[in-house]
Chains A and B, each alone.
Chain A
Amino acid sequence: SQKIEQNSEALNIQEGKTATLTCNYTNYSPAYLQWYRQDPGRGPVFLLLIRENEKEKRKERLKVTFDTTLKQSLFHITASQPADSATYLCALDGGFQKLVFGTGTRLLVSP
Chain B
Amino acid sequence: DVKVTQSSRYLVKRTGEKVFLECVQDMDHENMFWYRQDPGLGLRLIYFSYDVKMKEKGDIPEGYSVSREKKERFSLILESASTNQTSMYLCASRLGAGGEETQYFGPGTRLLVL
Count residues of chain B with CB under 8 A from any CB of chain A.
Answer: 26
Which A residue's beta carbon lies closest to that of B40? A103
A41 at interface by CB-CB < 8 Å: yes
CA of A43 to CA of B36, assembled, Å: 11
Shortest C-beta distance, A11 to chain B (Å), equals 17
CB-CB contacts below 8 Å: B94-112 with A = 97-100, 102-108, 110
B residues less than 8 Å from A49 (CB atoms) = 100, 102
CA of A45 to CA of B106, assembled, Å: 9
A109 at interface by CB-CB < 8 Å: no
A99 at interface by CB-CB < 8 Å: yes
B21 at interface by CB-CB < 8 Å: no
Shortest C-beta distance, A36 to chain B (Å), equals 8
Residue from B35, B58, B99, B102 whose CB has the most chain A CB atoms within 10 Å: B99
Count residues of chain A with CB under 8 A from any CB of chain B.
Answer: 26
B residues less than 8 Å from A43 (CB atoms) = 4, 90, 92, 105-108
B residues less than 8 Å from A101 (CB atoms) = 35, 42-44
B90 touches A99 (CB 8 A): no
Apart from A44-B103, A93-B99, A94-B99, what 16 extra A-B contacts exist at CB < 8 Å?
A32-B99, A41-B107, A41-B110, A44-B43, A44-B105, A46-B103, A46-B104, A49-B100, A93-B100, A97-B97, A98-B58, A98-B99, A100-B45, A101-B35, A101-B44, A104-B42
